[in-house]
Amino acid sequence: MTTVPIEALREALVRRLVEAGSSRETAEVQADMLVEAELRGLPSHGALRLNTLRQRIANGVCAPNALGKHSWRGTAWLDVDGESGFGPVVAQHALTAAARRTQETGVCLVTVRTSNHLGMLAWYAEHWARQGYVLIGLTTSEALVHPYGGTSRLLGTNPLTIGVPTADEEPLVVDLATSIVAMGKVHDYAGRGQALEPGWARDAQGRATTDAVAARSGAIAPFGGAKGYALGLGIEVLVTALTGSAIGTSVRGTLDATETASKGDVFILAPARGGALANLLADFLDEVRASDPADPARPVLVPGDRSRAERTRRIAEGVEVRDALWAEISHQNRTEQA
């Protein structure tokens, strides 16, 4: 592993994206998302996505300078054809227009299709909460998750995020996928030859397995049994109904390098009420943190606490990146890239 200062990582990512055809402006937004995922300990959504993004640009399924075509379905519903742009660029462009519109409407619904991978949803919740907005974000992805009581890949990992400003400097940011683990984690376990925990996955034939290699071509379980399945399925159907995206096994382009992105993204944005309410929320979160833990050695955490601590540490110390990946990103040794 190489420890890379985050500014060096960000600048190298921007350069590689510009080299592939991005404007500096769109490259910076996409690179910021990749760096933030590294900072928060979500490397599956970080620098390793660069190569796929570059391949997607080369293959004509990512248009690095597209901002998305906006049409309004009513005064408070912004519907976006992402024109195969970078997910974060199209989403932030739309959310900026939506935020402006909420001055009149109080709330705005943003629906996006044909846009590339959104990346880590917490990034959006954090950004807009810091601007004073409550945000709900949902996105679908390629089918990797089996139904509760089922065996085949039929659902995306379908994450959701909630962002709420509080009187604290840090907003509340919830970001969770509806799968029990990420497929990236299954790949990590496979790479290390480590067994999965029972109940996490099934193989390509639908048999329960703890073999990470077999699980890579199989399906991951939903989190939380029937309830997590219901939530993930609800997100899949809701997002498709609102965006007109593809659904289930027809979703493409969030993992591969060759197909147009056909998943959908949904955001709901509303300015927070603020005032005394912001203090109430901050006090409540502190009450949760201060409440009696089950294990005295492990204080109760609020969602986002751990990733923020990791972020602070990595801003100071830099980000650990695999040598081959860093060589590729930094152009030190492009012929040996992994």
End-to-end Cα separation, the chain, in angstroms: 13
**Considering the complex, what minimum distance in angstroms separates the CB of residue 183 from a second copy?**
16
| Residue among 22 and 209 whose Cβ is closer to a second copy | 209
| Residue among 107 and 190 whose Cβ is closer to a second copy | 107
Q: What is the C-alpha separation between 270 and 290, in angstroms, rounded?
A: 30
**Restricting to residues 140-179, which ones interact with a second copy according to CB under 8 A?**
146-152, 154, 160, 162, 164-166, 172, 174-178
Strand order in the sheet with 201-202: 208-209, 201-202, 219-220
CB 59, CB 48: distance < 8 Å: no
**Considering the complex, what minimum distance in angstroms separates the CB of residue 280 from a second copy?**
6
Amino acid letter, 215: A
Phi, psi of 309 (to 5 degrees): -65, -40
**Considering the complex, what minimum distance in angstroms separates the CB of residue 92 from a second copy?**
20
**Considering the complex, what minimum distance in angstroms separates the CB of residue 152 from a second copy?**
5
**Binding string, 96-115, against a second copy, x = CB under 8 A?**
------xxxxxxxx------
Buried b (16+ CB within 10 A) or exposed e, 89-124: bbbbbbbebbbebeeeeeebbbbbbbbbbbbbbbbb
Q: Say whether residue 324 binds a second copy (CB under 8 A).
A: no
Choosing from 5, 77, 185, 204, the residue that interacts with a second copy (CB under 8 A) is: 77
Q: What is the C-alpha separation between 331 and 17, in angstroms, rounded?
A: 12
Pick from 190, 171, 153: nearest CA to 308 = 171
| Residue among 32 and 79 whose Cβ is closer to a second copy | 79
Q: Is 337 helix (H, G, I), strand (E, B) or coil?
A: coil
**Considering the complex, what minimum distance in angstroms separates the CB of residue 241 from a second copy?**
5
Pick from 133, 77, 131: nearest CA to 108 = 77
**Restricting to residues 45-64, which ones interact with a second copy according to CB under 8 A?**
none
Size of the site for a second copy (CB under 8 A): 80
Pick left, alpha or beta for residue 74 (phi over 0 → left; psi -120 to 50 → alpha; otherwise beta): left
Specify the residue for token string 């969030």.
254
Pick from 152, 98, 118: nearest CA to 45 = 118
**Restricting to residues 229-248, which ones interact with a second copy according to CB under 8 A?**
229-231, 233-238, 240-242, 244, 247-248
Pick from 76, 199, 227: nearest CA to 235 = 227
Stretch that binds a second copy, among 8-16, 31-39, 256-264, 270-278 (CB under 8 A): 270-278
Stretch that binds a second copy, among 18-26, 73-81, 182-190, 316-324 (CB under 8 A): 73-81
| Residue among 24 and 227 whose Cβ is closer to a second copy | 227
**Restricting to residues 273-312, which ones interact with a second copy according to CB under 8 A?**
273, 277, 280-281, 284-285, 287-288, 291-295, 298-303
DSSP state of 294: S
**Binding string, 1-40, against a second copy, x = CB under 8 A?**
----------------------------------------
| Residue among 34 and 144 whose Cβ is closer to a second copy | 144
Q: Which two tokens stand for residue 337?
A: 């890239």
| Residue among 25 and 286 whose Cβ is closer to a second copy | 286
Pick from 203, 165, 173, 169: nearest CA to 186 = 203
**Considering the complex, what minimum distance in angstroms separates the CB of residue 284 from a second copy?**
5
Q: What is the C-alpha separation between 281 and 284, in angstroms, rounded?
A: 5
